[in-house]
Amino acid sequence: MENIYSYKRVDLEKYFVCNGEKKFKALQVFEWLYDKRVKSFKEMSNIKKELQEKLSEDFNMFMIKIQKKQEDGLTKKYLFKLYDGNYIEAVLMEHDYGLSICVSSQVGCNMGCKFCESGRLKKVRNLEAYEMVEQILLVEADIKKRIASVVIMGIGEPLDNYDNVMDFIKIINDAKGIAIGARHITISTCGLIPKIEELSEEDLQINLAISLHAPNTQLRSKIMPVNNAYDLNDLIPTVKKYIEKTNRRVTIEYVMLDGVNDNETNARELASLLKGMNVYVNLIPYNETNHLEYKRASKDTIMKFYDTLKKLGINVTIRKEFGSNIDAACGQLRSKEV
Ligand code: SAH
Protein backbone atom coordinates (compact mmCIF):
# COMPACT_ATOMS: atom_id res chain seq x y z
CA MET A 1 0.00 0.00 0.00
CA GLU A 2 1.26 3.46 -0.79
CA ASN A 3 1.07 6.59 1.24
CA ILE A 4 -1.14 9.28 -0.27
CA TYR A 5 1.34 12.01 0.72
CA SER A 6 3.89 10.56 -1.71
CA TYR A 7 1.57 11.34 -4.61
CA LYS A 8 1.97 14.45 -6.73
CA ARG A 9 -1.27 15.85 -8.11
CA VAL A 10 -0.47 14.41 -11.57
CA ASP A 11 0.06 10.98 -10.02
CA LEU A 12 -3.33 11.14 -8.36
CA GLU A 13 -4.91 12.31 -11.61
CA LYS A 14 -3.47 9.23 -13.32
CA TYR A 15 -4.76 7.05 -10.51
CA PHE A 16 -8.27 8.39 -10.88
CA VAL A 17 -8.27 8.16 -14.67
CA CYS A 18 -7.02 4.56 -14.46
CA ASN A 19 -9.90 3.82 -12.12
CA GLY A 20 -12.46 5.26 -14.50
CA GLU A 21 -12.92 8.45 -12.52
CA LYS A 22 -12.64 12.10 -13.48
CA LYS A 23 -9.23 13.73 -13.25
CA PHE A 24 -10.49 16.63 -11.12
CA LYS A 25 -11.02 14.25 -8.21
CA ALA A 26 -7.28 14.66 -7.64
CA LEU A 27 -7.79 18.34 -7.01
CA GLN A 28 -10.59 17.61 -4.55
CA VAL A 29 -8.44 15.11 -2.68
CA PHE A 30 -5.54 17.58 -2.60
CA GLU A 31 -7.84 20.20 -1.06
CA TRP A 32 -8.90 17.77 1.65
CA LEU A 33 -5.32 16.76 2.37
CA TYR A 34 -3.51 20.07 2.23
CA ASP A 35 -6.12 22.77 2.70
CA LYS A 36 -8.58 21.19 5.12
CA ARG A 37 -5.97 18.76 6.50
CA VAL A 38 -8.34 15.88 7.15
CA LYS A 39 -7.02 12.75 8.81
CA SER A 40 -9.11 10.14 6.97
CA PHE A 41 -10.71 9.49 3.62
CA LYS A 42 -14.10 9.29 5.35
CA GLU A 43 -14.02 13.02 5.96
CA MET A 44 -13.78 13.78 2.22
CA SER A 45 -17.48 14.51 1.96
CA ASN A 46 -17.63 15.50 -1.70
CA ILE A 47 -16.09 12.14 -2.69
CA LYS A 48 -18.68 9.37 -2.99
CA LYS A 49 -18.65 6.60 -0.41
CA GLU A 50 -17.43 3.79 -2.71
CA LEU A 51 -14.55 5.94 -3.85
CA GLN A 52 -13.64 6.85 -0.25
CA GLU A 53 -13.51 3.13 0.45
CA LYS A 54 -11.42 2.43 -2.63
CA LEU A 55 -8.99 5.16 -1.58
CA SER A 56 -8.62 3.71 1.88
CA GLU A 57 -7.95 0.28 0.40
CA ASP A 58 -5.29 1.67 -1.92
CA PHE A 59 -3.62 4.28 0.28
CA ASN A 60 -2.68 4.90 3.85
CA MET A 61 -2.22 8.32 5.43
CA PHE A 62 -0.04 9.22 8.40
CA MET A 63 2.82 6.95 9.30
CA ILE A 64 5.54 9.03 10.90
CA LYS A 65 5.16 10.13 14.53
CA ILE A 66 6.55 12.92 16.63
CA GLN A 67 8.59 11.05 19.24
CA LYS A 68 10.09 14.02 21.03
CA LYS A 69 10.15 17.79 20.82
CA GLN A 70 12.76 20.13 22.29
CA GLU A 71 12.68 23.91 22.41
CA ASP A 72 15.33 26.56 22.67
CA GLY A 73 14.16 30.13 22.19
CA LEU A 74 13.30 30.55 18.55
CA THR A 75 14.07 26.94 17.65
CA LYS A 76 12.16 23.68 18.00
CA LYS A 77 13.68 20.31 17.22
CA TYR A 78 11.45 17.36 16.39
CA LEU A 79 12.50 13.74 16.55
CA PHE A 80 10.31 11.57 14.33
CA LYS A 81 9.86 7.83 14.51
CA LEU A 82 9.33 6.20 11.12
CA TYR A 83 7.10 3.19 10.44
CA ASP A 84 10.12 0.85 10.53
CA GLY A 85 11.50 2.14 13.82
CA ASN A 86 14.13 4.43 12.30
CA TYR A 87 14.48 8.00 13.49
CA ILE A 88 15.06 11.34 11.78
CA GLU A 89 14.96 14.96 12.91
CA ALA A 90 13.62 18.28 11.64
CA VAL A 91 14.17 21.77 12.99
CA LEU A 92 11.75 24.67 13.01
CA MET A 93 13.21 28.18 13.15
CA GLU A 94 11.47 31.47 13.72
CA HIS A 95 13.00 34.26 11.64
CA ASP A 96 11.81 37.86 11.41
CA TYR A 97 10.54 36.99 7.91
CA GLY A 98 8.56 33.93 9.04
CA LEU A 99 8.93 30.31 9.97
CA SER A 100 11.34 28.00 8.23
CA ILE A 101 11.85 24.29 8.59
CA CYS A 102 14.96 22.21 7.99
CA VAL A 103 13.91 18.72 6.90
CA SER A 104 15.81 15.44 6.62
CA SER A 105 15.99 13.51 3.36
CA GLN A 106 17.60 10.20 4.43
CA VAL A 107 18.01 7.97 7.48
CA GLY A 108 21.74 8.41 8.09
CA CYS A 109 24.09 9.68 5.40
CA ASN A 110 26.89 8.17 3.32
CA MET A 111 28.78 11.32 2.44
CA GLY A 112 31.13 11.03 5.40
CA CYS A 113 31.97 14.72 5.90
CA LYS A 114 34.53 14.55 8.69
CA PHE A 115 33.03 17.32 10.80
CA CYS A 116 29.34 16.38 10.61
CA GLU A 117 27.40 14.40 13.20
CA SER A 118 24.62 13.30 10.85
CA GLY A 119 26.93 10.99 8.91
CA ARG A 120 27.96 9.00 11.96
CA LEU A 121 25.21 6.59 11.07
CA LYS A 122 25.73 5.38 7.50
CA LYS A 123 22.73 5.65 5.23
CA VAL A 124 20.08 3.13 6.22
CA ARG A 125 17.63 4.17 3.53
CA ASN A 126 16.18 7.05 1.58
CA LEU A 127 13.12 8.82 2.90
CA GLU A 128 9.99 8.43 0.83
CA ALA A 129 8.35 11.65 -0.37
CA TYR A 130 5.55 11.27 2.19
CA GLU A 131 8.07 11.08 5.03
CA MET A 132 9.36 14.50 4.01
CA VAL A 133 5.87 15.94 3.40
CA GLU A 134 4.73 14.68 6.80
CA GLN A 135 7.62 16.37 8.62
CA ILE A 136 6.03 19.65 7.50
CA LEU A 137 2.39 18.65 8.09
CA LEU A 138 3.08 17.36 11.59
CA VAL A 139 5.08 20.41 12.63
CA GLU A 140 2.43 22.75 11.22
CA ALA A 141 -0.26 20.84 13.12
CA ASP A 142 1.83 21.02 16.29
CA ILE A 143 2.39 24.78 16.14
CA LYS A 144 -0.95 25.58 14.48
CA LYS A 145 0.77 27.90 12.02
CA ARG A 146 1.89 27.71 8.42
CA ILE A 147 5.57 27.47 7.55
CA ALA A 148 6.94 29.95 4.99
CA SER A 149 10.12 28.26 3.82
CA VAL A 150 11.75 24.86 3.62
CA VAL A 151 15.42 23.96 3.54
CA ILE A 152 16.43 20.39 2.74
CA MET A 153 19.49 20.54 4.95
CA GLY A 154 18.73 18.07 7.70
CA ILE A 155 20.06 14.52 7.85
CA GLY A 156 21.06 13.07 4.49
CA GLU A 157 22.23 14.13 1.07
CA PRO A 158 19.11 15.19 -0.86
CA LEU A 159 20.65 14.66 -4.29
CA ASP A 160 21.44 11.06 -3.27
CA ASN A 161 17.64 10.64 -2.98
CA TYR A 162 16.86 12.60 -6.11
CA ASP A 163 13.50 11.24 -7.28
CA ASN A 164 11.80 11.29 -3.89
CA VAL A 165 13.16 14.75 -3.12
CA MET A 166 11.83 16.04 -6.47
CA ASP A 167 8.40 14.54 -5.76
CA PHE A 168 8.47 16.11 -2.31
CA ILE A 169 9.31 19.52 -3.76
CA LYS A 170 6.57 19.27 -6.37
CA ILE A 171 3.98 18.31 -3.74
CA ILE A 172 4.83 21.12 -1.33
CA ASN A 173 5.23 23.63 -4.16
CA ASP A 174 1.84 22.78 -5.71
CA ALA A 175 -0.53 25.73 -5.28
CA LYS A 176 -3.15 23.18 -4.20
CA GLY A 177 -0.63 21.31 -2.05
CA ILE A 178 1.20 22.96 0.83
CA ALA A 179 1.79 25.88 -1.55
CA ILE A 180 5.32 26.82 -0.54
CA GLY A 181 6.79 29.02 -3.27
CA ALA A 182 9.77 27.56 -5.13
CA ARG A 183 11.86 30.54 -4.11
CA HIS A 184 11.24 29.54 -0.51
CA ILE A 185 12.62 26.04 -1.03
CA THR A 186 16.36 25.30 -0.79
CA ILE A 187 18.28 22.13 -1.54
CA SER A 188 21.73 21.86 0.02
CA THR A 189 24.19 19.40 -1.50
CA CYS A 190 27.76 18.36 -0.87
CA GLY A 191 28.22 18.40 -4.65
CA LEU A 192 26.96 15.36 -6.56
CA ILE A 193 27.85 16.65 -10.03
CA PRO A 194 25.58 14.51 -12.27
CA LYS A 195 22.61 15.32 -10.05
CA ILE A 196 23.33 19.05 -10.10
CA GLU A 197 23.30 18.78 -13.89
CA GLU A 198 19.99 16.93 -13.75
CA LEU A 199 18.58 19.55 -11.39
CA SER A 200 19.46 22.32 -13.82
CA GLU A 201 17.07 20.71 -16.32
CA GLU A 202 14.09 20.82 -13.95
CA ASP A 203 11.79 23.71 -14.47
CA LEU A 204 11.86 24.81 -10.86
CA GLN A 205 12.79 28.17 -9.37
CA ILE A 206 14.17 26.63 -6.19
CA ASN A 207 17.41 27.65 -4.48
CA LEU A 208 20.55 25.57 -4.58
CA ALA A 209 23.22 25.66 -1.87
CA ILE A 210 26.59 23.96 -2.33
CA SER A 211 28.51 22.77 0.72
CA LEU A 212 31.96 23.77 -0.47
CA HIS A 213 33.83 24.26 2.81
CA ALA A 214 37.28 24.49 1.21
CA PRO A 215 38.90 26.74 -1.40
CA ASN A 216 40.98 24.02 -3.08
CA THR A 217 40.70 20.35 -3.87
CA GLN A 218 43.48 19.11 -1.54
CA LEU A 219 41.92 20.66 1.51
CA ARG A 220 38.40 19.66 0.46
CA SER A 221 39.43 16.01 0.11
CA LYS A 222 40.75 16.05 3.66
CA ILE A 223 37.42 17.06 5.17
CA MET A 224 34.90 15.83 2.58
CA PRO A 225 35.47 12.36 1.06
CA VAL A 226 32.89 13.17 -1.62
CA ASN A 227 35.58 15.35 -3.18
CA ASN A 228 37.41 12.18 -4.25
CA ALA A 229 34.44 11.24 -6.39
CA TYR A 230 33.41 14.75 -7.46
CA ASP A 231 36.42 17.01 -7.47
CA LEU A 232 36.15 20.68 -6.62
CA ASN A 233 37.83 21.48 -9.95
CA ASP A 234 34.89 19.85 -11.74
CA LEU A 235 32.29 21.03 -9.27
CA ILE A 236 32.95 24.73 -9.82
CA PRO A 237 32.46 24.56 -13.63
CA THR A 238 29.29 22.51 -12.99
CA VAL A 239 27.96 25.23 -10.70
CA LYS A 240 28.83 27.85 -13.34
CA LYS A 241 26.82 25.92 -15.92
CA TYR A 242 23.96 25.55 -13.46
CA ILE A 243 23.86 29.30 -12.92
CA GLU A 244 23.98 29.96 -16.66
CA LYS A 245 21.19 27.50 -17.34
CA THR A 246 18.85 28.48 -14.50
CA ASN A 247 19.76 32.13 -14.09
CA ARG A 248 19.57 31.60 -10.36
CA ARG A 249 22.06 32.76 -7.78
CA VAL A 250 23.67 29.89 -5.92
CA THR A 251 24.65 29.84 -2.25
CA ILE A 252 28.11 28.60 -1.33
CA GLU A 253 28.19 27.21 2.20
CA TYR A 254 31.50 27.43 4.02
CA VAL A 255 31.78 26.07 7.54
CA MET A 256 34.46 27.86 9.56
CA LEU A 257 36.72 25.23 11.13
CA ASP A 258 39.36 26.57 13.47
CA GLY A 259 42.85 26.26 11.97
CA VAL A 260 41.59 24.13 9.07
CA ASN A 261 40.05 26.39 6.42
CA ASP A 262 39.72 29.77 8.10
CA ASN A 263 42.89 31.78 7.44
CA GLU A 264 43.55 34.80 5.23
CA THR A 265 45.08 32.69 2.42
CA ASN A 266 42.01 30.44 2.41
CA ALA A 267 39.78 33.51 2.11
CA ARG A 268 41.80 34.91 -0.81
CA GLU A 269 41.83 31.56 -2.56
CA LEU A 270 38.08 31.22 -2.11
CA ALA A 271 37.54 34.70 -3.52
CA SER A 272 39.54 33.96 -6.64
CA LEU A 273 37.79 30.61 -7.11
CA LEU A 274 34.38 32.30 -7.03
CA LYS A 275 35.30 35.52 -8.82
CA GLY A 276 32.65 36.59 -11.32
CA MET A 277 30.16 33.88 -10.35
CA ASN A 278 26.60 34.77 -9.38
CA VAL A 279 26.95 33.32 -5.90
CA TYR A 280 26.94 34.41 -2.32
CA VAL A 281 28.97 32.82 0.38
CA ASN A 282 27.28 31.85 3.61
CA LEU A 283 29.86 31.45 6.36
CA ILE A 284 28.68 28.92 8.93
CA PRO A 285 30.09 29.13 12.46
CA TYR A 286 31.00 25.50 13.19
CA ASN A 287 28.75 23.77 15.70
CA GLU A 288 30.87 21.53 17.81
CA THR A 289 29.98 17.84 17.74
CA ASN A 290 31.51 14.58 18.92
CA HIS A 291 34.13 15.05 16.19
CA LEU A 292 36.39 16.57 18.80
CA GLU A 293 39.23 17.30 16.40
CA TYR A 294 37.18 20.14 14.87
CA LYS A 295 36.67 23.38 16.73
CA ARG A 296 34.73 26.49 15.97
CA ALA A 297 36.70 29.37 14.47
CA SER A 298 36.65 32.45 16.70
CA LYS A 299 34.29 35.36 16.05
CA ASP A 300 37.28 37.48 15.20
CA THR A 301 38.57 34.99 12.63
CA ILE A 302 35.14 34.71 11.04
CA MET A 303 34.88 38.51 10.82
CA LYS A 304 38.32 38.75 9.21
CA PHE A 305 37.42 36.06 6.67
CA TYR A 306 34.17 37.91 5.98
CA ASP A 307 35.98 41.23 5.49
CA THR A 308 38.53 39.71 3.11
CA LEU A 309 35.82 38.21 0.93
CA LYS A 310 33.88 41.48 0.96
CA LYS A 311 36.93 43.49 -0.02
CA LEU A 312 37.57 41.12 -2.88
CA GLY A 313 34.06 41.69 -4.21
CA ILE A 314 32.38 38.51 -3.02
CA ASN A 315 28.83 38.65 -1.60
CA VAL A 316 28.99 37.15 1.84
CA THR A 317 26.82 36.64 4.90
CA ILE A 318 27.32 34.90 8.23
CA ARG A 319 24.72 32.27 9.06
CA LYS A 320 22.52 33.16 11.99
CA GLU A 321 22.76 30.54 14.66
CA PHE A 322 19.86 28.48 15.88
CA GLY A 323 19.38 25.74 18.38
CA SER A 324 22.86 24.66 19.38
CA ASN A 325 21.69 24.21 23.02
CA ILE A 326 19.39 21.41 21.92
CA ASP A 327 21.76 19.98 19.30
CA ALA A 328 19.48 21.31 16.61
CA ALA A 329 22.08 23.29 14.69
CA CYS A 330 23.68 22.49 11.30
CA GLY A 331 25.57 19.24 11.44
CA GLN A 332 24.18 18.19 14.81
CA LEU A 333 21.11 16.21 13.74
CA ARG A 334 21.10 12.47 14.24
CA SER A 335 19.14 9.42 13.18
CA LYS A 336 18.83 8.09 16.68
CA GLU A 337 16.85 8.66 19.80
CA VAL A 338 19.03 10.21 22.49
N1 SAH B 1 24.08 16.82 2.71
C2 SAH B 1 23.71 18.17 2.47
C3 SAH B 1 22.77 18.77 3.49
C4 SAH B 1 23.00 18.50 4.96
S5 SAH B 1 24.09 19.47 5.92
C6 SAH B 1 24.96 19.01 2.34
O7 SAH B 1 26.04 18.51 2.52
O8 SAH B 1 24.83 20.17 1.98
C9 SAH B 1 23.69 21.16 5.93
C10 SAH B 1 24.93 22.02 6.07
O11 SAH B 1 25.50 21.98 7.39
C12 SAH B 1 26.05 21.59 5.14
O13 SAH B 1 26.64 22.71 4.55
C14 SAH B 1 27.00 20.91 6.09
O15 SAH B 1 28.28 20.78 5.58
C16 SAH B 1 26.92 21.81 7.30
N17 SAH B 1 27.45 21.21 8.53
C18 SAH B 1 27.68 19.91 8.79
N19 SAH B 1 28.16 19.76 10.03
C20 SAH B 1 28.21 20.99 10.57
C21 SAH B 1 28.58 21.49 11.85
N22 SAH B 1 28.95 20.66 12.83
N23 SAH B 1 28.51 22.82 12.06
C24 SAH B 1 28.06 23.65 11.10
N25 SAH B 1 27.69 23.24 9.88
C26 SAH B 1 27.76 21.93 9.62
Q: For the domain that residue 165 is a member of, what is the CATH number?
A: 3.20.20.70
Which strand (E) or helix (H) includes residue 106?
A: strand 106-107
pLDDT, tens only, 69-90: 999 999 999 999 999 999 999 9
Same-domain pairing of 25 and 84: no
pLDDT band at 116 (very low <50, low <70, confident <90, very high): very high
Average pLDDT, the chain: 96
Same-domain pairing of 184 and 118: yes
Cα separation values, 137 from 133, 144, 288, 306, Å: 6, 10, 30, 37
How far is the C-alpha of 119 from the C-alpha of 279, rounded, in Å? 27
Provide the residue range defining the domain that includes 165: 65-326
pLDDT, tens only, 203-241: 999 999 999 999 999 999 999 999 999 999 999 999 999
**Whole-number pLDDT of residue 324:** 85
Same-domain pairing of 133 and 264: yes
**pLDDT at residue 255 above 80?**
yes
Structural domain count, the chain: 2
CB of 255 closer than 6 A to ligand 1?
yes
CATH number reported for the structural domain that contains residue 35 in this entry: 1.10.150.530
The atom number, within ligand 1, closest to the CA of 157 reads 1
Q: Tell me if 333 is assigned to some domain.
A: no
Compute, in angstroms, the gap from residue 88 CA to the centroid of ligand 1. 15
Q: Tell me if 331 is assigned to some domain.
A: no
Same-domain pairing of 204 and 270: yes
How far is the C-alpha of 321 from the C-alpha of 338, rounded, in Å? 22
The answer to whether residues 21 and 29 touch, using CB atoms and an 8 Å cutoff, is: no
Q: Of 41, 60, 79, which residue is a domain's last?
A: 60
Same-domain pairing of 98 and 74: yes
Catalytic-residue membership of 113: no
The atom number, within ligand 1, closest to the CA of 253 reads 13
**Whole-number pLDDT of residue 19:** 96
Same-domain pairing of 30 and 152: no
The answer to whether residues 283 and 301 touch, using CB atoms and an 8 Å cutoff, is: no
* Other C-beta atoms lying within 10 Å of the C-beta of residue 290: 8
> What average pLDDT does range 288-310 have in this prediction?
94
Catalytic-residue membership of 330: yes
**Whole-number pLDDT of residue 326:** 87
For 191, residues 6+ apart whose C-beta sits below 8 A from its C-beta are 210, 211, 212, 226, 227, 230, 232, 235
How far is the C-alpha of 281 from the C-alpha of 312, rounded, in Å? 12
The phi and psi torsions of 96 (rounded to 5 degrees) equal: -65, -25
**Whole-number pLDDT of residue 30:** 98
Same-domain pairing of 23 and 78: no
**Whole-number pLDDT of residue 222:** 98
Compute, in angstroms, the gap from residue 329 CA to the centroid of ligand 1. 9
**Whole-number pLDDT of residue 236:** 98
pLDDT, tens only, 8-31: 999 999 999 999 999 999 999 999
How far is the C-alpha of 56 from the C-alpha of 47, rounded, in Å? 12
pLDDT band at 336 (very low <50, low <70, confident <90, very high): confident
Same-domain pairing of 13 and 113: no
DSSP structure string for 208-273: EEEE---SSHHHHHHH-THHHHS-HHHHHHHHHHHHHHH---EEEEEEEBTTTT-SHHHHHHHHHH
**Which residue's alpha carbon is nearest to atom 8 within ligand 1?**
189
**pLDDT at residue 338 above 80?**
no
**Whole-number pLDDT of residue 72:** 92
**pLDDT at residue 292 above 90?**
no
Q: Tell me if 260 is assigned to some domain.
A: yes
CB of 91 closer than 6 A to ligand 1?
no
pLDDT band at 337 (very low <50, low <70, confident <90, very high): confident
Ligand 1, residues 114, 185, 211, 319: which to mutate, most atoms within 8 A of Cβ?
A: 211
Ligand 1, residues 116, 162, 223: which to mutate, most atoms within 8 A of Cβ?
A: 116
